[in-house]
Structure 1
């Protein structure tokens, strides 16, 4: 492992996952970033007569279930971000007139929930064998209220001192941004600085995808 990779790993909380967790899904994973844990399951492409289905492309349906209680507005926002991110990654024209269902179950939220959900969804899609244009890696960061320092992959205790929070998702080919979510007050320079830092750190997540994939397939 290079010094650069070691430095990146020190910035992020430990990443772990379990593949093929759900027996009735075409692809599934339990993905953990620190103590934040999401279970993702993929079913499809499925033939369906749903009115939401497009005749010339695969339709993506995302269902996010919080740990306790009914789904809230923020949970519906997570579904929207994941749906749009996955639509950009999947070769939707390969399976016209079908539907892919992505089901997400929150197990624990200790910060970086949206990034963890996106990464769990991507790894479950890889496991399902669906044709994809690229993979996606998401990173969260924050700007500390007092110092203005950019902190990568903060946990829930660090987020209490955040002036702004960001979640970015990048594609694996050109590292172009495919998803961005922000909360709080920040300047344009702070936004661009956090974007560049997260883009650099996504290498760690993409490398992790490759390591995990090698365990169950000989084709990368």
Structure 2
């Protein structure tokens, strides 16, 4: 992993990741992903025939449904759907399957911090599992800046997030490590923003390596 010399390698360590593919029998592809104690399951249906009002004649439409662990879908959940949709849409080669729909269903299982990053990563793994053609894969990283120390903490859990003055989620593509999506809360300077983005970009390699090893393991099954 290409780490900068000034920053110790330990600072790029994320919470342990575990994933099971093909957990669901009905979808065309699925992935249950745990990052620390945060867990989601994503299922892909498609390409399927698109509903008339959502059909795009020259490309596939991407539809996302996100379900919280309890209660009805809230405004924040709709925003999560939008981030998953826009991120996955950037990665999928939508022109391969015109006039169809690719449906991504994500179910929250446990939220222990970094939920948006976990959902994007799970959706990406489920797309790989479903064999959907993609230009690149996506790795999402969550991080925070601590109130008092101003330290950047990668992949914080809920207890650490209570001490956050700002929280960031970045998603990067596997080709050029460009930012595909970015979600922020709290107050921060431009310097802090760029520093956290760079730290997350370095850490994204860990996620891409995890994908690669996982796909190798499941190569006979997929």
TM-score (norm 1): 0.95
In structure 2, what is the Cα distance between the partners aligned to 1:49 and 1:107? 29
In structure 2, what is the Cα distance between the partners aligned to 1:105 and 1:167? 19
In structure 2, what is the Cα distance between the partners aligned to 1:125 and 1:49? 21
- CA drift of 1:47 comes to 1.2
- CA drift of 1:10 comes to 6.5
1:160 to 127, 151, 162: 162
Gap change, CA 1:19 and 1:8, over 3 Å in 2: farther
Gap change, CA 1:188 and 1:86, over 3 Å in 2: same
1:66 is matched with 68
Contact 1:8 1:201 (8 Å CA) reproduced: no
Q: Given the alignment of the two structures, is residue 118 of structure 1 paired with residue 120 of structure 2, yes or no?
A: yes
Size of the aligned set, in residue pairs, is 217
Deviation per CA, 1:124-147, whole angstroms, max 9, x where unpaired?
000000100000000000000011
1:49 is matched with 51
Runs of 4+ aligned residues of structure 1 deviating over 6 Å after TM superposition are: none
Q: Given the alignment of the two structures, is residue 170 of structure 1 paired with residue 179 of structure 2, yes or no?
A: no
- CA drift of 1:8 comes to 5.5
Gap change, CA 1:8 and 1:81, over 3 Å in 2: farther
Structure 2: tracts of 5 or more residues without a match: none
Structure 1: tracts of 5 or more residues without a match: none
Deviation per CA, 1:164-207, whole angstroms, max 9, x where unpaired?
00000000000000000000000000000000000000000000
- CA drift of 1:25 comes to 0.7
Alpha-carbon RMSD: 1.8
- CA drift of 1:89 comes to 0.0
